[in-house]
Amino acid sequence: MLPRRHSFVYNLIIFILAQLVWLAVLLLWIYWYVKNNLIFEQVGEKISPQIVYDAPSVFPFVGGIVLLTGLSVSLVLIFRHLNIQIKINALYDNFIANVTHELKSPLSSIQLYLETLNSRDVPEDKRKEFYGLMIRDSERLKSLVNSILEIAAMDKKKIQRNFEIYKADEIIKKIVLESAEQFQVPENSIKFSGDAGCDILIDRNSIKTVFDNLVDNAIKYSLSEPQIEIKFKRYFKKIEIEFADNGIGIAHDEIKKIFQKFHRIYDKDIPNVKGTGLGLYVVKEIIKTHKGKVSGSSEGKGMGSKFKIELPIYTDKKKSAKEKKKG
Amino acid sequence: MNDEQLENSKILLVEDEENLAHGLEYNLTEEGYKVTRAKDGREAIKLFDENTFDLIVLDIMLPYFNGFEVAKHVRLKQPQMPILMLTARTQFEDRVKGLEIGADDYLTKPFHLKELLLRIKGMLRRKKWYQKIVSDSPVYKFGNNEINFENFKCKKDKNTFQLTSYEAMIMKYLIDNKDKVVSRKELLENVWNMNPEVETRTVDNFIVRLRKYFEDDPSNPKFIISVRSAGYIFQDV
Q: How far apart are CA B132 and CA B76, in angstroms?
A: 22
Burial class (CB in 10 A: 0-12, 13-18, 19+), A312: middle
For the cut 60, the answer to whether the pLDDT of residue A5 exceeds it is no
Residues linked to residue A311 through DSSP beta bridges, in sequence order? A239
Each residue's pLDDT tens digit, A132-149: 999 989 988 887 888 788
DSSP label at residue B6: G
Q: Measured between CA atoms, how close is B63 to chain A, in angstroms?
A: 5
Top pLDDT among B93 and A113 is at: A113
Q: What is the pLDDT of residue A143?
A: 79
pLDDT-based confidence at residue A14 (cuts at 50, 70, 90) = confident
Considering only the beta carbons, identify the residue of A112, A120, A274 that sits closest to B24: A112
Whether the Cβ atoms of residue A11 and residue A79 lie closer than 8 Å to each other: yes
Q: How far apart are CA A173 and CA A163, in angstroms?
A: 18
Q: How far is CA B171 from CA A298, B100, B134, B203, B213, in A?
A: 59, 17, 12, 12, 11
A120 — contact with chain B (CB < 8 Å)? Answer: yes
Top pLDDT among A266 and B176 is at: B176
* Pick from A225-239, B77-91, B217-231: least confident: B77-91
For the cut 90, the answer to whether the pLDDT of residue B112 exceeds it is yes
DSSP label at residue B146: E
A327 — contact with chain B (CB < 8 Å)? Answer: no
Q: What is the pLDDT of residue A44?
A: 72
Angle of CA points A24, A34, A22, to nearest 5°: 15
Q: How far apart are CA A137 and CA A139, in angstroms?
A: 5
Each residue's pLDDT tens digit, A31-84: 888 888 788 777 777 776 666 555 556 777 788 788 888 888 888 888 888 888
- Give strand ranges (E) for chain A: 163-167, 190-194, 199-203, 228-234, 238-245, 293-297, 306-314
For the cut 80, the answer to whether the pLDDT of residue B192 exceeds it is no
Contacts of A115 in chain B (CB under 8 A): 112-114
CA gyration radius for chain A? Answer: 31
Return the number of CB contacts < 8 Å for A and B: 67
Top pLDDT among B148 and A64 is at: B148
Residue B140: CB atoms within 10 A of its CB come to 18
For the cut 50, the answer to whether the pLDDT of residue A327 exceeds it is no
Compute the average pLDDT of residues B165-169: 83
Considering only the beta carbons, identify the residue of A97, A111, A270 that sits closest to B110: A111
Whether the Cβ atoms of residue A189 and residue A227 lie closer than 8 Å to each other: yes
Compute the average pLDDT of residues B192-200: 60
Q: How far apart are CA B232 and CA B215, in angstroms?
A: 15
Considering only the beta carbons, identify the residue of A101, A107, A126 that sits closest to B61: A101
Whether the Cβ atoms of residue B20 and residue A105 lie closer than 8 Å to each other: yes
ipTM above 0.85, yes or no: no
- Does the beta-carbon distance from A270 to B109 stay under 8 Å? no
Each residue's pLDDT tens digit, A181-237: 888 888 889 999 998 889 999 999 899 989 999 998 998 888 888 899 999 999 988
pLDDT-based confidence at residue A128 (cuts at 50, 70, 90) = very high
pLDDT-based confidence at residue A324 (cuts at 50, 70, 90) = low
Q: Measured between CA atoms, how close is B159 to chain A, in angstroms?
A: 30
- Does the beta-carbon distance from A272 to B16 stay under 8 Å? yes
Q: Sheet harboring B224-227: ordered strands across?
A: B181-182, B231-234, B224-227
Interface test with B, best of A107, A114, A115, A141 (most B CBs within 10 A): A115
